[in-house]
């Protein structure tokens, strides 16, 4: 079995991995690097794909180029952009089908459309507990896990040389507030199959604990909402637009208290498909993003501020988000002021741009006398003790840490050593554009 | 009104404050400094009280000495040792009554007994929502709040010059797992009384958020207990012995799963009175601390390891605790080994001694192959945004931060400035052995 | 004696303090806040002075407004912009003379000119060891100290109520590489005068040591220059443009090795007056900032890269600096590439904007294969043990920490407590727009 | 070529590596792990060598056991105990000669003597610029470098399969205050030899700069000594006892000012051989360690405190050191007090024991009113940019980071990737008890 570690092995972001067995290849993920995307955004339109690759914005898949005809499928485990956001730049080289859960494919279709790329490849929906034959030799199975976006799965590929598990971005939440907990029973059975290798997300390998459940955040949100609703001001909550479970909880905790409006483009992009898939119910909630609509909604809100809860974009302080514009006084019809409250139901993703943007946003809120709350959030990624749980549950022959720079991969390797693995023998610290022969 | 800031104004720990109005004084707390107590423990027996004071182990109450006859009461808001642990060393100077909630007085009686000091002062039990007249001029009222030990209250003293609120160590837990949430309705009414001053705990002023509820820890504990009970080894949990709410949760989460034994001296000291007050039910649970009993219980446990949950002392890695002894292999009848699990349901209180002790303990556990989990815990103290809530709720004329070194007190003052207070005018950064004239 | 703590008592930056004795006032400093200046730079031109004050960019001197006629002098201890950069916005209210060392006045004249403000006030040059009578009652004396800009002094004001020392920003460098070490003999004599109060800079109060000498940086620079000159590429060094001593050292360490060019507007602004004052000799060095000159110099440099040392602006990654433009490939005639070396002889001043700018700049350098070195620098401010030295040397009756937010001022107060002072009695934690009556 | 990575590849400390070529083996270093040595010190006497190995105190050389007869030499690059301190426990398995510089062998002889082990192996002195033939196939050469102990060298082994460079612990100090700077001319020639592999120290790989010269510390020491000599108290300096260059500087900076006494056992152990090798001159200086001598010297010192400089043990707060005993008041004849000054010319090596010991020591000094200065020190290890310099200078075919846990080794690998190396291909992250086949 050959593992092509294409992207995400020298950085957080830009995930892309491929597996080859018997001359057949399956690709997992085609993500971008958010921080570099922002850094080069001013010139991105003018750059060729090759130049974008050179700047480290999207993966360099050139090690696959001569084997593009061998590719049987491109598989996406979930729809975050660091996993699927480069599809429109990279898909042209491949004719194979694209496989994902229904919600993941919804987002992929939207990305292609936004970038004015027609979809030529076949799109195949696959659900957890289902399998798909990719060729005489290859079977793909999706396994349900929890994460901060709906439709997240572990991807299990069966090959004649043994199994391959792509476990890049997920969480082991035993008390999810929406949907089922991870399919532990299936996960544990992998230990008794012939599992040749597991690729596993290491973004939070440094947190020496288990990741907290979304139920914890729901409790914390309740505390904050209860307290701020007592003040007579406007309440705003911002979170990741794709975090449908969180949005559900915010709506539920508010039930029958305040009128909700959801404002911002990316909220629309992720909430609308979630509504169609019945992941979230927004009856009675206004959802808008175009400037004129937002302005007119804000005018209505302003007349009755203490009766409204605004859910809006801007959790990272993005310059064009609704929250940032509000803080800058860009909307004529509603100005933030003392007794207003902002709940950041998110973490600041630590890129230099986000750090500056958030600091500037918080300064502006403070100057206006607006009270704000940070980090009312639990993470979406397994942490060090969850990693240990996974290692023990699946008992893969080889471990391949991914989604991190060399130091993160090595930190996972340290843990694997504690669990009996050996570096270069059965736990592999790889790097971008490299091929592991197992 | 005169405020004597006696102890806890140059450090965390060693709390003691007194208030004088019309020639009558009320003392709040007589605590020790845990870190210095450990540092000087080898020679403590040989030192005079004066020498112990000089080493900063207990407060220096000499500024009260000439006024001891004016003292009408010594009041304890809760029974943590940094608030009441110096009583046997300091009480001799004062003839006045001692006031506390029933559980607080239980612990005080035990401290006096352990130190072979007869109690000469009158002990007066006071419950939340009750008042006590201390003199013609002074009335004392207890207000229910949440904290990590039962029977914690805010102490509200009414004087002819206005009210005084002693709010030193508490938490605003809106979802407590035992007892009621804080008596917000009473707290908010203080804003409409003539509240001259509030002394408030700043230990966690640097945490820029609200303190998480104990319900959060219960959820996290559940996750951990569910996961470790699946392994076939022994499970040990250690927490602060006085944290009765936590112990209740551990017992409840285990219900009908494993047999529980509780081991360690300080567990007995705090659990027995809690049982008598019906704060906790330990039917069917073995509780022991003497070496021989512990040995014989461990022998029984060892024969059926996967059927037992041990709750034991040692959360800070204390050298003589049950957990440390187990990790060192000091008990003949039970040795820790691979597949055993230890849950630290606590934080490491960051004194140099604790840091070393815990590091050594964790090393030993790791060497034995025992898996352990840290910080399955939520704090017991208000944090920065809770401080802001308190400032806004009680609207005291003067604020006096306590329970911290100058930097912590100043950090609270910064917050107070944001809320409209002014340094030296109505928010006061004091220091030990100083008198504020309001 | 009344001390008006106008600016720099709630933040780092924006320094302004005034002293009143017998109805006569002396103002010290009129600085701006750099971070907020950048934050509001897009709209600054359109704002009124009042609006700029409200945004916290410059000090709010309104507590002086009714007493403007009492002002006898405005004194500047040195020419950094957080001490004198708001002069053109605030000076109109005051008719009094402006006093500074010659170099400080050079910079002030340049600021006024750049802002198209004619100077109406009398400018009075004062040198260290000299005194100036400001009125029958007030005498001003300058005392030589070291700092990261030439012409820095402590300002000692003699009043009938005792002395006042303004010691806001300086360093105790016993091995300066340019000029004399601090005038310790004069400083120590203050202890025997009747020194009522000292205002003292606390920017680096958290560093628990003495500040390192500029000689240390000279040694480190030598190491770096020796190593990078062996490679065959271009070498660039960037530092604070006003740090003339550093620039001298760079030039001296290069002597007879490479041809030097100095590029960037702010370098011209600070170096030209320093040349006139004979603080630095740039014979044989090209100094330029206009785009066309820079372009033509770079063209020459490019033909002989390994023969040049470029000293340029951009030490904080400022978007319009020469270094940032070079890293972005904005100059046609010279492109940075592998084997080029950049030495950052500075620290990153930790504002969110600088942090992002520097991160982006470093990313670009890395992408180009340019090697760079950070923090080849020693600080310009006294540190905690220097503070203790100062406290012991001058033995002021009252201490007033400045140039920091409440936490920094309190950290100084802690130190003062160790040295026998008492909070609110003789060490004063003030805040902006407050008056201390001593 | 086979590289046995025996110790120091999963931790800092406990260094041991072996190289095999054509059935001949050379061992480099036999060090211990200081932190674990302290942790198990109470029982060390009772443990077998195997048990000591199991506790991770000394390397596990069992992968060499069947090949012990192939060992042609055991080579020590310098005499720090994490490189040679386990020799008495491990040497019995090997009959080969022991090679080191003269000072290194002095220390090894002392270790063997202290442990009552007769030396059976031949001891061979080798100096920088000299070569030694170990067999027909193997030649060993020592190359001069700088470090914090005299006699430190890089070890270059020539084999028929190419060269091997053992570069474990050193510093590139271009301005050493004693001896020559590193032999760059020889080091750079390695690039043109057939250098198969380099093992390189990564203890300070996280410091993103070049390590400062000892000249920097000499400047800082001068500043401190000048300042404290002005006070009328006793002055004490403590540093690593093996840091002869530092001790020389302290002595030189004091010349003709105060009388020096050096107190403490380990000082005697390292200074006496250094005197014999003429590395340091202690004429006129009293050096002692036995309790009675120390007591009588202190008695003399006490009579004339301001005329003495004490250099003593205790830089890490070790419980039995002279400084700790002084701080505890253990010596009858001299008590520390206000106006005394302690200079810690060292860093705190961050083990939990050191952190606690130093914190306790500093608390005691503070309580006594003694002023102390921390970290008047520059490190002895190459830092990240020095690593880059080394990679570029020697151009080894394979790089093997050592002296760190997996994360440190990986951080070096990241750097190597930047310089064009590839993980597992020519930069190797190994672990203890593993063999690399190059």
pLDDT of residue D255: 83
Give the DSSP letter of residue B19.
Answer: E
pLDDT of residue A360: 94
Characterize the bridge pairing of strands A434-437 and A308-312: unpaired
Please tell me the pTM assigned to this model. Answer: 0.94
Q: What percent of chain D has pLDDT over 90?
A: 97
How far off is chain B from C417, nearest CA to CA, in Å?
9
- Backbone angles phi and psi of B57, in degrees to 5: -85, -35
pLDDT of residue D41: 86
Q: Which of A173, A174, A221, A389 to mutate to test the interface with B (most CBs of B within 10 A)?
A: A174
Average pLDDT over residues C358-363: 95
Expressed in angstroms, the distance from the first to the final Cα of chain D is 5
At residue A255 the predicted structure's pLDDT band, cuts being 50, 70 and 90, is confident
Contact D163, D190 (CB under 8 A): yes
Is the pLDDT at A62 greater than 90, yes or no?
yes
Q: Is C210 on the interface with D (CB under 8 A)?
A: yes
ipTM: 0.93
Is the pLDDT at A154 greater than 90, yes or no?
yes
On the CB side of C5, CA atoms within 13 Å amount to: 30
Is the pLDDT at B255 greater than 90, yes or no?
no
Is the pLDDT at B44 greater than 90, yes or no?
no
Q: What percent of chain B has pLDDT over 70?
A: 100
Instruction: Measure the CA–CA gap between A340 and A328, rounded to whole angstroms.
Output: 15
Is the pLDDT at C127 greater than 90, yes or no?
yes
Q: Is B277 on the interface with A (CB under 8 A)?
A: no
Q: Is C55 on the interface with A (CB under 8 A)?
A: yes
Instruction: Measure the CA–CA gap between A331 and A313, rounded to whole angstroms.
Output: 15
How far off is chain A from B400, nearest CA to CA, in Å?
23
Interchain CB distance below 8 Å, A367 and C39: no
pLDDT of residue D45: 87
Q: What percent of chain C has pLDDT over 90?
A: 97
- At C323 the three-state DSSP class reads helix
Q: Which of residues 398-417 of B touch D (CB under 8 A)?
A: none
| Partners of D410 in the β-ladder | none
Measure CB to CB from residue A224 to each of B210, B371, B375 and give the nearest one.
B210
Q: Which of residues 170-209 of C touch D (CB under 8 A)?
A: 174-175, 208-209
> For residue A45, how far is the Cα from the chain centroid?
24
Instruction: Measure the CA–CA gap between A56 and A405, rounded to whole angstroms.
Output: 13
Instruction: Measure the CA–CA gap between A246 and A230, rounded to whole angstroms.
Output: 22
Contact A351, A34 (CB under 8 A): yes
Q: What residue spans of B231-351 are helical by DSSP H?
A: 244-254, 265-276, 291-302, 322-327
pLDDT one digit per residue (tens) for chain D, 438 residues: 999 999 999 999 999 999 999 999 999 999 999 999 998 888 888 999 999 999 999 999 999 999 999 999 999 999 999 999 999 999 999 999 999 999 999 999 999 999 999 999 999 999 999 999 999 999 999 999 999 999 999 999 999 999 999 999 999 999 999 999 999 999 999 999 999 999 999 999 999 999 999 999 999 999 999 999 988 899 999 999 999 999 999 999 998 899 999 999 999 999 999 999 999 999 999 999 999 999 999 999 999 999 999 999 999 999 999 999 999 999 999 999 999 999 999 999 999 999 999 999 999 999 999 999 999 999 999 999 999 999 999 999 999 999 999 999 999 999 999 999 999 999 999 999 999 999
| Partners of D73 in the β-ladder | D26, D97
User: Which residues, including other chains, have CB under 8 Å from residue B134's CB and lie 6 or more apart?
Assistant: B24, B26, B72, B73, B140, B157
Is the pLDDT at C429 greater than 90, yes or no?
yes
At residue B231 the predicted structure's pLDDT band, cuts being 50, 70 and 90, is confident
Tell me: the pLDDT tens digits for B157-172?
A: 999 999 999 999 999 9
Q: Which of residues 24-53 of D touch B (CB under 8 A)?
A: 39
Tell me: the pLDDT tens digits for D189-231?
A: 999 999 999 999 999 999 999 999 999 999 999 999 999 998 8
Q: Which of D213, D219, D342 to mutate to test the interface with C (most CBs of C within 10 A)?
A: D219
Is the pLDDT at A44 greater than 90, yes or no?
no
pLDDT of residue A256: 86
- What is D372-427 written as a DSSP string? EE------SS--HHHHHHHHHHH--SEEEEESB-HHHHHHHHHHHHHTT--BTTTB
Is the pLDDT at C44 greater than 90, yes or no?
no
Interchain CB distance below 8 Å, B174 and A226: yes
Question: Which chain C residues are within 8 Å of D233, Cβ to Cβ?
Answer: none
At residue B425 the predicted structure's pLDDT band, cuts being 50, 70 and 90, is very high
Tell me: the pLDDT tens digits for C138-148?
A: 999 999 999 99
Is the pLDDT at C231 greater than 90, yes or no?
no
Measure CB to CB from residue A216 to each of B216, B373, B388 and give the nearest one.
B216
Instruction: Measure the CA–CA gap between D34 and D351, rounded to whole angstroms.
Output: 9
Q: Is B367 on the interface with D (CB under 8 A)?
A: yes
Q: Which of D3, D408, D424 to mutate to test the interface with A (most CBs of A within 10 A)?
A: D424
> For residue B239, how far is the Cα from the chain centroid?
13
Interchain CB distance below 8 Å, D223 and C210: yes
- CB under 8 Å, gap of 24 or more: what pairs does D228-232 form? D228/D341, D228/D343, D228/D371, D229/D257, D229/D258, D231/D339, D231/D341, D232/D305, D232/D306, D232/D339
pLDDT of residue B124: 98
pLDDT of residue B96: 97
Q: What is the mean pLDDT of chain B?
A: 96
Q: Which of B51, B363, B364 to mutate to test the interface with D (most CBs of D within 10 A)?
A: B363
Tell me: the pLDDT tens digits for B205-224?
A: 999 999 999 999 999 999 99
Characterize the bridge pairing of strands B341-345 and B235-239: parallel
Q: What is the mean pLDDT of chain D?
A: 96
Q: Is C227 on the interface with D (CB under 8 A)?
A: yes
- At B182 the three-state DSSP class reads coil
């Amino acid at each position: 079995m050959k593992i092509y570690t294409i992207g995400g092995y020298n950085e957080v972001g830009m995930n892309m991995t491929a597996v080859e067995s018997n001359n057949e290849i399956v690709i997992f993920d085609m993500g971008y690097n958010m921080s570099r995307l922002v850094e080069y955004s001013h010139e991105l339109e003018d750059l060729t794909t090759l130049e974008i690759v050179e700047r480290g914005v999207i993966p360099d898949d050139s090690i696959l180029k001569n084997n593009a005809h061998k590719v049987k499928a491109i598989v996406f485990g979930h729809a975050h952009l660091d996993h699927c956001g480069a599809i429109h730049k990279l898909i042209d080289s491949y004719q194979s089908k694209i496989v994902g859960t229904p919600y993941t494919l919804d987002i992929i279709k939207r990305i292609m459309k936004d970038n004015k790329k027609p979809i030529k490849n076949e799109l195949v929906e696959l659900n957890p507990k289902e399998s798909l034959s990719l060729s005489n030799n290859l079977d793909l199975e999706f396994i349900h896990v929890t994460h901060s976006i709906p439709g997240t799965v572990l991807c299990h590929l069966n090959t004649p040389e043994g199994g391959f598990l792509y476990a890049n971005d997920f969480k082991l939440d035993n008390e999810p507030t929406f949907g089922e907990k991870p399919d532990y029973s299936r996960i544990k059975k992998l230990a008794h199959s012939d599992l040749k290798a597991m690729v596993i997300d290491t973004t939070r390998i440094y947190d020496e604990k288990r990741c907290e459940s979304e139920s914890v955040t729901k409790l914390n949100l309740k505390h904050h909402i209860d307290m701020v609703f007592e003040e007579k001001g406007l309440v705003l909550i911002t979170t990741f637009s794709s975090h449908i479970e969180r949005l559900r909880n915010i709506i539920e905790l508010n039930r029958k208290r305040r009128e909700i409006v959801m404002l911002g483009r990316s909220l629309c992009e992720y909430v609308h498909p979630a509504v169609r898939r019945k992941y979230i119910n927004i009856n009675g909630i206004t959802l808008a993003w175009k400037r004129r609509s937002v302005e007119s909604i804000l005018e209505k809100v302003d007349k009755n501020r203490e009766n409204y809860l605004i859910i809006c974009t801007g959790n990272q302080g993005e310059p064009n988000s609704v929250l940032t514009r509000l803080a800058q006084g860009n909307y004529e019809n509603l100005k933030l002021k003392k007794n207003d409250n902002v709940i950041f139901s998110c973490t600041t993703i630590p890129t230099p741009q986000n750090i500056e943007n958030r600091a500037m946003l918080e300064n502006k809120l403070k100057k206006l006398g607006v009270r704000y709350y940070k980090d009312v959030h639990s993470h979406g990624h397994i942490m060090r003790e969850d990693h240990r749980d996974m290692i023990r549950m699946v008992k893969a022959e080889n471990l391949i840490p991914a989604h991190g720079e060399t130091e993160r991969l090595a930190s996972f390797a340290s843990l694997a050593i504690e669990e009996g693995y050996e570096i270069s023998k059965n736990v592999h610290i790889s790097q971008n554009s490299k091929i592991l022969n197992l």
